[in-house]
């Protein structure tokens, strides 16, 4: 699995300001609807439900919100670079400015876990995070993420 297989260029955004985690999840849900055709309300509910189990801020300014949804036939991704970092209850207490969301079919099993491992491993790379933070053009952001294709999930 490669990031370019799950993340469409249209699913990448640079956002100037997000007031809250709930607003971020709403924006992600809207983007998921416009790019992948998934139900906005179901996506929002699933992201909030997953987040209620524990924060998905994984450290180093990165959050990996994820959820399982009915109506998907494969794992899909969304990426947002926040110009103004926000509190995300991350494990290292640092604010988040790189948000990589994964949506998986309800019965996806191992594919969902492979995608999470791939994204987590990719975004652990400090040089890659620096490149993402240095760009605000969605095309450039997608290119940086797609170029990380040599990093494979376990």
- Residues with a known catalytic role: 66
Q: Positive or negative CA dihedral for 91, 96, 100, 102?
A: positive
93 vs 91: CA distance, rounded Å? 6
How far is CA 94 from its chain centroid? 17
Q: How far is the CA of 68 from the CAs of 75, 104, 138, 145, 149, in angstroms?
A: 9, 5, 25, 22, 24
27 vs 14: CA distance, rounded Å? 12
């Amino acid at each position: 699995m490669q990031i370019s297989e799950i993340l469409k260029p249209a699913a990448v955004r640079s956002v100037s300001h997000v007031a809250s985690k709930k607003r971020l999840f709403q924006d992600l849900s809207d983007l998921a609807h416009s790019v992948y055709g998934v139900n906005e309300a179901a996506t929002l509910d699933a992201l909030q439900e997953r987040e209620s189990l524990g924060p998905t801020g994984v450290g180093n300014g990165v959050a990996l919100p994820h959820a399982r949804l009915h109506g998907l036939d494969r794992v899909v991704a969304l990426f947002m670079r926040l110009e103004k970092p926000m509190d995300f209850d991350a494990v290292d207490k640092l604010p988040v400015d790189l948000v990589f969301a994964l949506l998986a079919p309800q019965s996806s099993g191992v594919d969902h876990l492979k995608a999470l491992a791939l994204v987590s491993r990719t975004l652990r790379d400090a040089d890659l995070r620096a490149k993402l933070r240095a760009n605000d053009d969605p095309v450039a952001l997608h290119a940086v993420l797609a170029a990380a294709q040599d990093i494979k999930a376990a």
